Structure 1
């Protein structure tokens, strides 16, 4: 819809509701029975398309564009927390260079964060993503997690690329070793892509691993590279951070693109 004014019909079509329903939602009508789920989906589409007649959408569009929130699902693994800290350090430095600052949200918090222009959800379980989205009508983007909702960006590793890189160094006899993903669909995709997979939740899980190891986790590589034949494929290369930044800016500006399902 680039160069074309978004209409109430566009919003209704994308939300899968009637024009009347969109009108009721944007005008805050409370005398009609509209489900909370429908109301929230209409507001998400309004936000995505930047439907200007709605005052709520105008308010969302005027949020400070320099502040990006970042969060994940709650977990208790010390190793996972260390990896998340590494990701935070790398991403915050990269985004700072491009004029953005990170607001870190406590894992598991589902509050409203309208002071941010967008929320990056790192390896977040789908139900947590949906709950957070229900409480925030600013763009949410899923990184290293499958949400499978066309309204939202999801940015994941191209596992075929990881396989090819692994085979260059180790052939076919290796084990993919990674920290246990929060996102269950991501777990399933990794298990499908590699013949042998070992997900780590504690230091005990590091015992008795095979000699040939492939990992995309910085923490795993740091612990095992001196004792194993370890092929490290960076989970957050520069190209991926560029794609995250581009997606954030497209989401904030409501730039129409063919697909929000992206791989790197």
Structure 2
């Protein structure tokens, strides 16, 4: 997690608390204290002594993830590890997936699921992708690549019909433009224009993503209830603009 306020962070942590024996979180904001760190330290995982918070400065995404691997307590060096970002929130599917792990043959080293990517608001999603979830931790495991990073060595992988949510594009237009600028600096995508950075709006930052977006008629994870209620009030006008753009 970086300097940008991670509004789904608390929900993300609560959604994994029931399956994690220990969580390692990298605060790569470079700040001595932050709103995000305060959320982490007040989480169930922290209050029950099941969390390691690492403080670092952001270099690239592989470095950030390897920092978490390096900080993993030795007792978990050969355990199943859960991969999760600050804007990913799980539901009941995670507990079901975790229950299967002890019964898998040793040659299976990774268990994937499917992540639904929301855009602009909680009412629209743009993609459903096979995504990393669980992986067997080992001393050889490393991430590589500045962005869209890869994890290796990983042997046989399987995918389960489990779906969770990613809210990385449910941000303010300014935050979306700044994220696009960061990603472009690391070699992914096209950098936003100066106008998009100076006067961002729903149309300028999400038009291409909302073009083929689907309306979401399902249910979000219960962990997201308060987040959705609060942001729906704070961003009424923005969400209405997203509806018009997508509809």
State the TM bucket, normalised to the shorter chain: under 0.3
Could you tell me the TM-score, scaled by structure 1's length?
A: 0.22
**Counting helix residues as a fraction of each chain, which structure ranks higher?**
1
**Counting strand residues as a fraction of each chain, which structure ranks higher?**
2
Could you tell me the TM-score, scaled by structure 2's length?
A: 0.23
Per chain length, whose mean CA-contact separation is higher, i.e. which structure has more relative contact order (CA < 8 Å, sep 6+)?
2
* Bigger CA radius of gyration: 1
